[in-house]
Amino acid sequence: MTALPLWRRAIAEGIGTGLLVTVVVGSGIAAASLSPNDVGLQLLENAFATALGLAVLILMIGPVSGAHFNPVVSAVDWWIGRRSGAGLTPRDLAAYIPAQIIGAALGALLANLMYDEAAVSWSTTDRSAGHLWLGEVVATAGLIVLIFALAASGRASIAPAAVGAYIGSAYWFTSSTSFANPAVTIGRAFSDTFAGIAPGSLPGFVIAQVIGAAVGVALVRLLYPAVGRAADEVVVPHTPASTGASP
């Protein structure tokens, strides 16, 4: 196989992450408009759209970049695969993470503009509380275990449906509504709507997500000791950066 150029994979990650935030924020705005007096229904509409949108985006972008759309997933992919020569390289990681964060911010702007909102309206939704941080630890750990368990057991091809289903359900079983993604968390701060998070709440959520990722790594290594060799299959099978022409 010939490796796809890094710039193309990074752009794919930016586009995929941006469109994911557009789905999250856009469906949140629509839900608040369509069901203004029922927060539970708003959450259901937001979760349903996010689960389906995420699955579709993984199918679209996965063959190009792996469809990480998430800095902690990319970081864990590098960490787990580094000894076996699989997964992302440090150079890949340095391109993926900024692309994901920039894409997330632009995705929020796009959603705002589609609904005739200000391009940037900083969220005022405070989410600074210990039980919400615990929810983020649980949500992120579960996501990491799911993704890397699928790769290690040769079932990465079902990741679009599995990851979408997990995030859709985690909207409901976690206290934080499962952000589980630092880039998406940052992007959601750009919109003062149903799906937003106040900028002041970002550090607590991101720290909790990093802790959750570490917990997830420990669990997946316990359950699948040889997971490092499957790092090229995260999130879905794609052209590994370590083969073919250099980016």
Look at the chain and report how many structural domains it folds into. Answer: 1
Residues lower than pLDDT 50 in the chain: 1-2, 241-247
Q: What is the pLDDT of residue 242?
A: 39
Is residue 192, in this structure, part of any structural domain at all? yes
Is residue 240, in this structure, part of any structural domain at all? no
**How many DSSP H helices and E strands does the chain contain?**
8, 0
CA distance 240 to 3: 6
Hunting for tokens 């979408």 — which residue is that? 164
Q: What is the pLDDT of residue 233?
A: 87
Is residue 185, in this structure, part of any structural domain at all? yes
CA distance 69 to 236: 12
According to DSSP, the residues that pair with 121 across neighbouring strands are 191
Is residue 24, in this structure, part of any structural domain at all? yes
User: CATH no. for residue 28?
Assistant: 1.20.1080.10
Q: What is the pLDDT of residue 25?
A: 98
Eight-state DSSP code of residue 129 = -
Question: Helix or strand or coil: residue 5?
Answer: coil
235: left (phi over 0), alpha (psi -120 to 50) or beta: alpha
According to DSSP, the residues that pair with 191 across neighbouring strands are 121
CA distance 238 to 236: 6
Is residue 247, in this structure, part of any structural domain at all? no
Q: What is the pLDDT of residue 240?
A: 52
Could you tell me the pTM of the whole model?
A: 0.93
pLDDT digits (tens, 9 = 90+) for 113-138: 999 999 999 999 999 999 999 999 99
244: left (phi over 0), alpha (psi -120 to 50) or beta: left
pLDDT digits (tens, 9 = 90+) for 6-42: 999 999 999 999 999 999 999 999 999 999 999 999 9
Is residue 17, in this structure, part of any structural domain at all? yes
According to DSSP, the residues that pair with 146 across neighbouring strands are none
Q: What is the pLDDT of residue 231?
A: 85
Is residue 88, in this structure, part of any structural domain at all? yes
Domain range for 123: 6-233
Is residue 239, in this structure, part of any structural domain at all? no
